[in-house]
Chain A
Amino acid sequence: MTAHSSPHRKLRSSRKGYAGIIAAIIMVLIILYFYSTVAMFSLSRDKDLQDITARSAQLDIDRDAEKVAITSVTITQGPQAGQLTVTCTLENSGSVPVQLARLWLEDKSLTQNNIGNVPLTSIPVAIQPGGRIQQTFPPVTIQGSSPSDAFFLWIITFRGNSFLR
Chain B
Amino acid sequence: MPRRNTKSMLSKLRLLFRRRIPDFLGNRRAVSVVVSTVVLSAGVLALGIAVLYWAFSMGNLSSLQYSRTIATNSYAASERIGFEYISYSSAGNRLTVNIINWGGAHNLNISLVHITDSLHNYVGTGAYTPSILTNITTGSPIPDNDLDIGEEGRFTITLSDPLPSGYYNIRLVTGRGRTFDSSFITP
- List A residues at the B interface (Cβ < 8 Å): 41-42, 45-46, 48-49, 52-53, 55-56, 59-60, 63, 101-102, 104, 115, 117-119, 156-162
A-B contact pairs, 9 of them (CB 8 A): A48-B74, A52-B74, A59-B103, A104-B84, A119-B137, A119-B152, A159-B82, A160-B100, A162-B83
Compute how far the CA of A73 lies from the CA of B123 in the bound complex, rounded to whole angstroms: 38
B104: Cβ under 8 A from any A Cβ: yes
A40 to B177, CA, bound (A): 28
Residue of B nearest to A111 (CB): B187
User: Complex formed: what's the CA distance from A56 to B63 in Å?
Assistant: 25
Interface residue ranges of B71-86 to A (CB < 8 Å): 73-75, 77-78, 80-85
Q: Which residues of B contact A59 (CB under 8 A)?
A: 78, 80, 102-104
Query: A52 and B78 in contact (CB under 8 A), knowing A41-B63, A59-B103?
Result: yes
Residues 104-155 of B at the A interface (beta carbon under 8 Å): 104, 136-137, 150, 152
Closest A residue, CB atoms, query B150: A158
Which residues does chain B contribute within 8 Å of A49, judged by CB atoms? Answer: 70, 73-74, 77
User: Which secondary structure dominates where chain B touches chain A?
Assistant: mixed
**Contact flag A101-B152 (CB < 8 Å), given A45-B67, A49-B74, A56-B103:** yes
The interface residues of chain B lying within 8 Å CB-to-CB of A161 are 82
Count A-B contacts at CB 8 Å.
72
What is the distance, in angstroms, from B18's C-beta to the closest C-beta of chain A?
A: 44
**Cα–Cα, bound, A160→B67 (Å):** 30
Bound together, the chains give a CA A159 to CA B82 distance in angstroms of 8
Inter-chain CA distance A59–B82, complex, in Å, is: 13
- Is the C-beta of B87 less than 8 angstroms from some C-beta in chain A? yes
Determine whether B53 belongs to the interface, using a CB cutoff of 8 Å to chain A: no
Tell me the nearest residue of chain A to B87, going by C-beta. Answer: A115
Interface size class of B (residues with CB under 8 A): 20 to 34
- Cα(A162)–Cα(B83), bound, Å: 8
Chain A residue with minimal CB distance to B138?
A119
- With A and B bound together, what is the CA distance between A156 and B154 in angstroms? 14
Q: In the complex, A63 Cα to B63 Cα: how many Å? A: 36
By the criterion CB–CB under 8 Å, are A48 and B102 in contact? no
- In whole angstroms, how far apart are the Cα atoms of A157 and B150 in the complex? 10
- B24 interface residue, CB < 8 Å from A? no
Contacts of B150 in A (CB 8 A): 101, 158
A56-B104, A104-B85, A161-B82 provided; 16 other pairs, C-beta below 8 A? A45-B66, A45-B67, A56-B77, A56-B78, A59-B78, A59-B102, A59-B104, A60-B80, A63-B102, A101-B100, A119-B137, A156-B152, A158-B102, A159-B82, A160-B82, A160-B100
Contact across chains for A158 and B100 when beta carbons are under 8 A apart = yes
Q: A102: which of B83, B103, B136 is its contact (CB, 8 Å)?
A: B136
